[in-house]
Each structure stands twice: as structure tokens, then as C-alpha cells.
Amino acid sequence: MKLIAGLGNPGRKYAGTRHNVGFDALDLLAERHRLAWESGPADALIAKWRTGGALLAKPLTFMNLSGHPVGELLRFFKIDQGDLLVVVDDVALDLGRLRARPSGSAGGHNGLKSLIGQLGSDTFARLRVGVGRGDARRDLADHVLARFEPEERPIIAEAVARAADAAELFVTEGIDPMMNRFNRKEDAE
């Protein structure tokens, strides 16, 4: 079984923000496969994708504490860390660009930092969805907690759809095919 965790902040206040593209990608994936969200054995909503052999999860903690529920789900369902994919926003990537990696540092992302701290390792797959940096004079926290501008919405909607496609490919074929297909720059254009 694989675990696909989308990171974000819970609550209506944060819906549609840059920080919540991980939630958005998992919501789309659940919708595509007609999966129902339910309470999990950790502080998270889960959706069981039985035909895909995967569990989708959205931690109900805030971003900087999301490692705890994801770690609990891995342990509860006895899922290997190598079968984990985390979908997160990334301000260092251009809006709409995807980048998948089998492991790596947190890169300044508090959700990934929390997860690495909980697992004691950075050897889990991650899919970063570019949300752009915006105005460098603007506080980064304000930027990621802001909603997308009207002209950005079609770009991020397409990126979220491709992120859901990438998660499906991770489940069926693994990280290498996912990286080969979705890390190409031309896919973002």
C-alpha cells in the first residue's frame, strides 16, 4: 500500500490559498476515483483508494505540524517510508511547475521539515507544486497564505490536475516514471 499525503492548512479560512495546493491535488484525486474522506486513526482525513492500493491523507494540523499525523498513518497502516508521496507547495518554483524527487531536504518548507523531523529521515518522495514567489518585498508567510490572483487560477488549476496525474502514476508505476514524465519543463508550459 502507498500513502499519498497532501499538505495544507485546515479550515475554510485557508481554502484556495497557495499553501493548500497539496490538499487541492488530493481532493481532485479523491473526486476522480469517487473516494470519500473520513476520519483517520491520526489527526487527518483519509480516503481509501482500494483499487489503486493507496491511502490518501490530509493532515488536520497546521502545515508546520503535519509530520506527526503523516508519521502516525505510516506506522498504523505499516506503510514503508519508500511508499510515501508528499504533495506540497513550493515558492521557489515558477507558478504551475511540478518537480518530483525521491528524497531531499526540506528546502525551507515547514511541512517537509516537520515530516523529516518526525520520520528522522528525508528519504520519502515529494511532489512540489510551484506557486511562485511573488513580490520579493512581500512577507513570504503572507504570500503562501494568500489566494491566487484571477489570472493565476487557470495555471494553478492545470498544475493541480497534473499533480493528481503524477500521484496516480506514483501509485501505479513509482517515483522514477513520475519524475521522468512530470519534471520536464515543457510540461509546465
pLDDT at 120: 94
pLDDT tens-digit readout, 153-167 = 999 999 999 999 999
- The three three-digit cell numbers of residue 22, written as one number: 497539496
At residue 186, does pLDDT exceed 80? no
Q: What is the mean pLDDT of residues 172-181?
A: 96
Band (pLDDT 50/70/90 cuts) for residue 188 is: very low
pLDDT tens-digit readout, 126-157 = 999 999 887 777 676 777 888 889 999 999 99
Please name each of the domains of the chain with its CATH number.
2-188 (3.40.50.1470)
- The three three-digit cell numbers of residue 66, written as one number: 503535519
Which residues sit opposite 182 in a β-bridge? Answer: none
Does residue 46 or residue 139 have the better pLDDT?
A: 46
- Catalogue the active-site residues: 19
Question: What is the 3-state secondary structure of 164-189?
Answer: HHHHHHHHHHCHHHHHHHHCCHHHHC
Residue 91, phi then psi, degrees to nearest 5: -75, -20
Report the phi/psi class of residue 90: left, alpha or beta, with left for phi > 0 and alpha for psi in -120 to 50. beta
At residue 84, does pLDDT exceed 50? yes
Give me the torsion for CA of 81, 56, 22, 178, rounded to 10°. Answer: 60
Does residue 118 or residue 108 have the better pLDDT?
A: 118
